[in-house]
Amino acid sequence: MFRYRKWGMSRVQELTRLDLDADTQALLEAYGFDRELFERLRGQMLAGELSAAANRVRGAIEPPAEGDVRPLPAPGSPARRELHDRGMAALAAGEVGCVVLAGGMATRFGGVVKAEVEALPGRSFLSLKLADIRAVARRAGRPIPVYLMSSFATHDALLGLCAAEQSAEAPIEVFSQFVSLRVAPDGALFREADGRPSPYAPGHGDLSFALRGSGALSRFRERGGRLLATSNVDNLGATLDPGVIGQHLQAQVQASVEVGRRTPGELGGIPLRVAGKLQIVEDFRLPEGFDFARVPQFNTNTFVFDAPALDRDFALNWFLVRKRVDGREAIQFERLVGQVAAFLSCSCIEIARSGDDGRFQPVKDPDELERRRPDIERILRARGVI
């Protein structure tokens, strides 16, 4: 498990034996590198224990049962108003916080941290996320704390952005996910063109571990926090909707997962029952030949979590991921936050992807941003964010 800690001289000496330069050693120390875990995963890779076959889920696989996936009621309907009122009560009681996932490697927008990219004219992704949360806080009459998960590649930029965006309505705390080192297919450290080791952020599965390790989760709970609405910084459709909070509370589960209808050929995590337990299973973990038509929904990586339920370690799988870096194959070990649902009671909320009530407009690169801007603007105007 990665964890925050101070290292003594013996730890620094161990890193030196990996032939690391001083800057890399300082980076690993600052962002919670776990040498023991790194060596274990590297050994499992070399032994063939981390592989496509090892990724496959075990146990009987079935589509979600009746009631596992419930649509979010239409805006203006009596059912939606009831859920909205229930969610607003939790917000007004100071029980809700927001987690915004803004880590990663800052590579898809030319090295610019995505949170600061101009999503709409004059407005960055992060500023629009925060504007939405502040507007809800004003309606609730209570501050809504924001926990922004960074990475070593985005942390300093996010600190600068947040200094300008801080407000009493939505106070921001930045906490970082962890760091690891890429390896070559033969298990040696992968080195970049300048000869230095190649660090990376090991996936949003770091979320619960980093929240706990940084102390952010305990601080949230100490102030009376119970629920954490969690979304990616690049999905501006995933606003803080009291109706979603209300539906989570109505379901009486520890985790609610927003799912949307999959378009032909679209892959990703999907809701399934594995050995009777509802969870999110990534497409690469399914048996060969799995019929995706059996489950029309997929995971949008937007959640509501009960904060107490996150305050524990989870035995998340580590997955071997192959990347092209400097034209060469590099290997990373990553884990995914959606797998947390396998360890908690959960339900799925089926949402609209687009339209005034749309909640899934992810942006991975500049071309996708250009395509999605009209839908993003429509959604945010309909909700009074802009």
pLDDT (tens digit per residue) in 184-214: 999 999 999 999 999 999 999 999 999 999 9
Is residue 13 a part of any domain in this protein? no
Please indicate, yes or no, if residue 123 is contained in any of the structural domains: yes
pLDDT tens by residue, 98-150: 999 999 988 889 889 999 999 999 999 999 999 999 999 999 999 999 999 99
**Which amino acid does the sequence have at 154?**
T
pTM value is: 0.93
Establish if 362 belongs to a structural domain.
Answer: yes
Averaged pLDDT for residues 16-25: 82
The DSSP bridge pattern shows strands 346-350 and 69-71 to be: parallel
Is pLDDT larger for residue 14 or for residue 111?
111
pLDDT for residue 5 is more than 70: no
Assign 17 a pLDDT band (cuts: 50, 70, 90).
low
CATH code for position 91:
3.90.550.10
Instruction: Please compute the mean of the pLDDT values over residues 230-257 and round it to a whole number.
Output: 98
What are the φ/ψ torsions at residue 91 (nearest 5 degrees)? -65, -45
Q: What is the pLDDT averaged over residues 335-354? A: 97
Structural domain boundaries enclosing 358: 58-382
- State pLDDT tens for residues 43-89: 999 999 998 788 889 889 999 999 999 999 999 999 999 999 999 99
What pLDDT is stored for residue 158 in this prediction? 97
Residue pointed to by tokens 């009376």? 224
pLDDT at 7 exceeding the cut of 50? no
pLDDT at residue number 138 = 98
In a domain, residue 36? The reply is no
Asked, for residue 44, whether it belongs to a domain, the answer is no
Looking at the domain assignment, is residue 7 inside a domain? no
C-beta of residue 141 within 8 angstroms of C-beta of residue 90: no
Q: Which of 29, 7, 209, 254 has its CA nearest to residue 103?
A: 209
- Looking at the predicted structure, is the pLDDT value of residue 4 above 50? no
Band (pLDDT 50/70/90 cuts) for residue 356 is very high
- Give the start-end residues of each E strand in the chain: 61-62, 69-71, 96-101, 118-120, 123-124, 146-150, 172-176, 180-181, 199-200, 227-232, 255-261, 270-274, 277-281, 297-306, 319-325, 328-334, 346-350
Residues 210, 31: Cα–Cα separation, whole Å: 10
Note the pLDDT tens digit of each residue in 23-52. 999 999 999 999 999 999 999 999 999 987
Largest Cα–Cα distance in the chain?
A: 65
Q: Which residues of 123-148 are buried (b: 16+ CB within 10 A; e: fewer)?
A: bbbbbbbbbbbbbbbeebebbbbbbb
What are the backbone angles phi and psi of residue 7, rounded to the nearest 5°? -110, 140
**269 close to 281: Cβ distance less than 8 angstroms:** yes
Lowest mean pLDDT among 105-109, 325-329, 349-353: 105-109
Q: What single letter denotes the amino acid at residue 372?
A: R
Angle between helices 22-30 and 9-16 (to 10 degrees): 130
Query: Kindly report the CA angle at 48 between 43 and 51, in degrees rounded to 5?
Result: 110
3-state secondary structure 262-296: CCCCCCCCEEEEECCEEEEECHHHCCCCCCHHHCC
Q: Which of 316, 315, 314 is nearest to 334 (CA)?
A: 316
- Provide the percentage of residues in the chain whose pLDDT is more than 70: 96
Average pLDDT, the chain: 93
pLDDT confidence tier of residue 15, bands split at 50, 70 and 90: very low
Q: Report the domain count for the chain.
A: 1
Would you give the DSSP letter of residue 115? G
Residue bearing tokens 């999605």: 372
